[in-house]
Amino acid sequence: MRQLARLFSGLTLVLLIWAGWLMLAPQQPVVTPPPPDSAALTGPVDRIEIRKSARRMTVFRDGQPLKTYRIALGFAPVGDKRQQGDGKTPEGLFRVDRRNAASAYHLSLGLDYPRPQDRARAARQGVDPGGDIMIHGQPNQRPDGEVLGGDWTAGCIAIADPQIREVFAATAIGTPVEILP
């Protein structure tokens, strides 16, 4: 039994070291060419839809899609966010509740996560629901136009810097944001 416990402890240590290395290892930058529909976004948007499985964010006005963007998500994107540090991007209907022009990620639009139902669920489970979920650009230390590859955020939705400038300019506080699996 002790031998099995030592083996389990050793495997756990190896997995923790590997996970830490993955989180700290430098990401390979990927320069993303502009999509075919690269026309500038003009005017306000009245709804944002994020489809996690497709890694796409679409902005709408009057029920019509205006533009679609490629996105990155939390480092463990499958499933709904349950607690602080799980690396998941939450699912559900949210609202933009703040705008940050001095973000560490170029520009950011804050979402009203956790909602009351998220806080209640986390309280029942005895965990912290997390917070500070944003739609944002790339880390400020990256050159403009460079995009980190893969899903790398702590639970946010990331797009390229030129794209967040468009979305930031066209999105008001109160804009609904639906995040779908």
| Cα–Cα distance, 94 to 158 (Å, whole number) | 16
Question: Comparing C-alpha atoms, which of 151, 110, 152 is closest to residue 134?
Answer: 110
Which residue of the set 72, 156, 167, 179 is catalytic? 156
Contact 50, 57 (CB under 8 A): yes
- 77's CB contacts (< 8 A; 6+ apart) are 52, 87, 88, 89, 151
Residue type, 16: L
Q: What are phi and psi of 100, to 5 degrees?
A: -130, 105
Q: Tokens for 107?
A: 């520009």
Q: Read off the amino acid at residue 174.
A: G
Query: Is 156 tagged catalytic?
Result: yes
Catalytic one among 136, 151, 159, 179?
A: 136
Structure tokens at 71: 């996105």
Asked if 136 is an active-site residue, the reply is yes
For residue 57, which of 111, 18, 124, 113 has the smallest C-alpha distance? Answer: 111
Omega of the bond leading into 65 within 30 degrees of 0 (cis): no
Report, as residue numbers or ranges, the catalytic residues.
Answer: 136, 156
